[in-house]
Amino acid sequence: MRLLEYESKEALASKGVPIPLGEVARTPEEAAAITEKLGGRAVLKIQIPHGQRGKAGGIKVVSSPEEARQVASELLSKTFYSYKPESLLVEEPIKVKTEIYVGAIADRNARSMTFITTPYGGMEVEEIAAEHPESIEKRSVHPLLGMVPYIARALAKNASMNVPDKLKEIQKVVMALWEVARDYDAMMLEINPLAVTEDGRLLALDARIEVDDNALFRHKEFEKRYYAVGNPREAEAKKKGIAYVELEGNVGTMANGAGLAMATMDLVYTFGGKPANFCDVGGGASADRVAEALELVVSNPNVKVVLINTLCGITSCVDVAEGVRKVHEKGLLKVPVVVRMSGNRAEEGKSILSELGIKATEKAVEAVKHATELAK
């Protein structure tokens, strides 16, 4: 789960990391009031769990409370990367002298947190690695030992290459970053940029924290506002207990069983198609659960055809067909639907689908071939 920027900054601030002055606004009026408190000028930043907000027009500088009200109204009414922001972070404008990168990521192979610093911040760490590979310092931190001073100093020394007088302050930030990673069950976190301002302050201008989904039960403050990284449909599936992962193809897939779902995706690739998702409704899915899963699949605008592959044992083919009927009656099936149906009460299920104008086959290969051809 990716935290919003203001949530990430609050977590860092709780460990002593300095952040810019600012508050969260949920209405244009609140944005105007906060801007006035900040002296009449502010930066308005949409709060969504996605990067590159500036490129999408989601970060604006305003020069008066009235302008803040107008811009906030516009930002809160728009959609960015499929997210409609519910809040804005209103902060003081900052004049930056130097930008630094400090981050960490869970390294499964090393069974530790790998911390990374570089004196070049303000861009994606992958870009930094490509343009300045020599500038990157990496150190592994054992989860039982935690961050120790000599590792924090080595990381800070590298980060402070262009601002040596900030070495001790950056070292404190690195130590704090470890504390946040530990306390928040973070899989990934970064401060980018960690900036030195023209008036000499060290500030975390932007921050990102991704909490392990499996640890959300320990963080009730975030559990109610679950966002899948980059995708609202995955978040909705999570709430409903449906195994759904979105991909980049255009063949929407659904199956009853994780193994069958994976095999279905493999077959799509084999016959020249690209699956748009992984979706497993489970071995004993009801008609309602099938309908919920199918609605998720067809809500993806990239889907050009839906492939339903069912091999029914505990689940009845009738339940699968009734689930499809529920979605059809809502008028949500805007793309062709191809069904492979065999097993428990298959003939009855096929009869129901036939009434909807959907022909089902018992052969998986036949269904997959047809679906991939329709997608092309």
- Active-site residue list: 101, 190
CA distances from 231 to 82, 141, 356 (A): 8, 31, 31
- As a dihedral over the C-alpha atoms of residue 228, residue 234, residue 237, residue 241, rounded to 10 degrees, the angle is -60
Cβ-count burial of 129 within 10 angstroms (0-12 exposed, 13-18 middle, 19+ buried)?
middle
Sign of the torsion angle spanned by Cα atoms 316, 320, 321, 325: positive
Residues 6 or more apart whose CB falls under 8 angstroms from that of 348 comprise: 317, 318, 321
Residues 6 or more apart whose CB falls under 8 angstroms from that of 283 comprise: 256, 257, 313, 314, 315
Residues 6 or more apart whose CB falls under 8 angstroms from that of 175 comprise: 147, 149, 152
Give the rounded distance of the alpha carbon of 40 from its chain centre: 33
Contact 332, 361 (CB under 8 A): no
Give the rounded distance of the alpha carbon of 59 from its chain centre: 19
**Tokens 């504390």 — which residue?**
179
What DSSP assignment string belongs to 175-205? HHHHHHHHHTTEEEEEEEEEEEETTS-EEE-
Give the rounded distance of the alpha carbon of 351 from its chain centre: 40
Peptide linkage before 193 cis (omega within 30 of 0): yes
Contact 187, 105 (CB under 8 A): yes
Contact 188, 115 (CB under 8 A): no
Q: What is the CA radius of gyration of the chain?
A: 25
Going by C-alpha positions, the residue among 343, 347, 303 that lies closest to residue 327 is 303
Q: Which two tokens stand for residue 369?
A: 């071939």
Classify residue 3 by its DSSP letter: P
